[in-house]
Amino acid sequence: MHSLLRRPKRAEDVFGVAPEVLPDSYVDRGDLDERIARLLNKKKHIALRGVSKCGKSWLRQRVVPSALVVQCRLGKTVLDIYREALGELGIRLEVSSTEATSLTGTVEATAEAGVNLIAKIAAKWGFSGTATDSITTKSVRQDINDLGFIADLIRESGRTLVIEDFHYLSHAERTKLAFDLKALWDYKTYVVIVGVWSGQNILVHLNSDLTARVREVPIVWSDEDLEKIFERGGKALNLQFSGDVVARAVKDCYGNAGILQRLIEGVLEEAGIEEEQKELTYVDDVSLLEDAELNYAEELNTVYLEFANRVSSGIRTRQNATGIYAHAMAVIMAASDDELIGGVPLDSIFKTAHAREPRIQKGNLRTVLERIEALQVDDAGRGLVLAYDESRKVVSVVDRQLLLYRKYATVPWPWEDLIAEADQQGEGFSGV
């Protein structure tokens, strides 16, 4: 029974997907918080690997509360990452040239904090900056010719650089960042990389010099840990969820804590439970969960129709490869849940696609898969659903909400129409 001296907790304060951590339903699976906290003191880069909505951001907020966070989008470069990170510190970075890990350019303070940082680092490097008075603060401009200067600025700030959504970077930019990470490690500036990738140790694969310098931590959920979300949140709201409701929700969230949080939120909405209960209340009607899943799928309808439209529009612009793209999407989207979670191999996609259309060649198909991510995102570089892992040569689902949506969706995907159009026009298989 909740205390009369405080207001009852609201359901949305306990369950759901939120930008801030909801402590009453937060679960430290496998003591991961403590493990990462220890790693932060071990002078290593940390790579947090996990699918969309698996709790990476909440975890990062818990273990690195004052992070210097840069969000990646498709088309962003490594230099953009440095610009945004320094911008958060009140420093503008202008680069005139770059070669390997050597940078030539300038940094200029745009805020008082930036002035102090540049002054400290410039003195260490033996530089003499100039300061001129402005209306609000001093402006300090300093030439730089080494990544080490940027590393020192970040380290001197006392904040940890966190690069989120690493998977949105192109393969070339991922590789460049992997080599920069070795240099940053040499400069004792340690970075946390957060993203989605299906293979192990992607950064070491991109740059073998990172061996023993980066620790990769997969963020995965056991059924037991997912069940604890019900237990912790239920206790906060004075609720008891039945074993049937818990088991069905855990099965239908596909190992994803974010999806589970949304399903529980939906169940409570269907049950009319808006706040902490005065007496222990049982939630044992599985039909409430079924209704919540249907409503969730309906909400996702717009998301995946836009996804399908973006992909279709992108495919139509590839006049010399329309059929290859369309057949590839048809095969991928027909794969089972387990296949999409584990990664559908290029060889399997080719085998099925080639059986459907003998003109498809494996080399061209591989090139198409390498470009498939660019078809999916919006103008802001967001919205990735499927990702291609070049190291393992597999396509996997980044957004597992797709799997729940497929379970209830009745709208057909447009790939077959595109295939028919390509066949009628007699094109779409000659190249990429």
Q: What would the two tokens of residue 325 be?
A: 């793209």
As a whole number of angstroms, the distance between CA 150 and CA 87 comes to 12
pTM of the model: 0.84
Q: What would the two tokens of residue 409 be?
A: 């969706």
> Residue 150: pLDDT above 70?
yes
As a whole number of angstroms, the distance between CA 18 and CA 22 comes to 7
As a whole number of angstroms, the distance between CA 83 and CA 61 comes to 22
Among 275, 295, 315, the domain-final residue is: 295
Number of separate domains in the chain: 3
Region class of 47: left (phi > 0), else alpha (psi between -120 and 50), else beta = beta
Among 179, 200, 218, the domain-final residue is: 218
Q: Is residue 312 part of a domain?
A: yes
Rounded to 5 degrees, φ, ψ at 102 are -100, 130
H/E element, 306: helix 286-316
Q: Which domain holds residue 185?
A: 23-218
**Per-residue confidence at 98, pLDDT binned at 50, 70, 90?**
low
Does 213 share its domain with 96?
yes
DSSP string for 75-105: T--HHHHHHHHHHHTTEEEEEEEEETTEEEE
As a whole number of angstroms, the distance between CA 24 and CA 45 comes to 30
As a whole number of angstroms, the distance between CA 110 and CA 96 comes to 19
Does 102 share its domain with 191?
yes
Q: What would the two tokens of residue 18 be?
A: 């939120």
pLDDT digits (tens, 9 = 90+) for 239-295: 999 999 999 999 999 999 999 999 999 999 999 999 999 999 999 999 999 999 999
pLDDT digits (tens, 9 = 90+) for 319-353: 777 889 999 999 999 999 999 999 999 999 999 99
Does 357 share its domain with 403?
yes
Q: What would the two tokens of residue 259 be?
A: 């999806």
Does 243 share its domain with 321?
no
DSSP 8-state symbol, 7: P
Does 263 share its domain with 310?
no
Does 16 share its domain with 27?
no
CB atoms within 10 A of CB 4: 7
Among 190, 218, 246, the domain-final residue is: 218
The answer to whether 168 and 374 are in contact (CB under 8 A) is: no
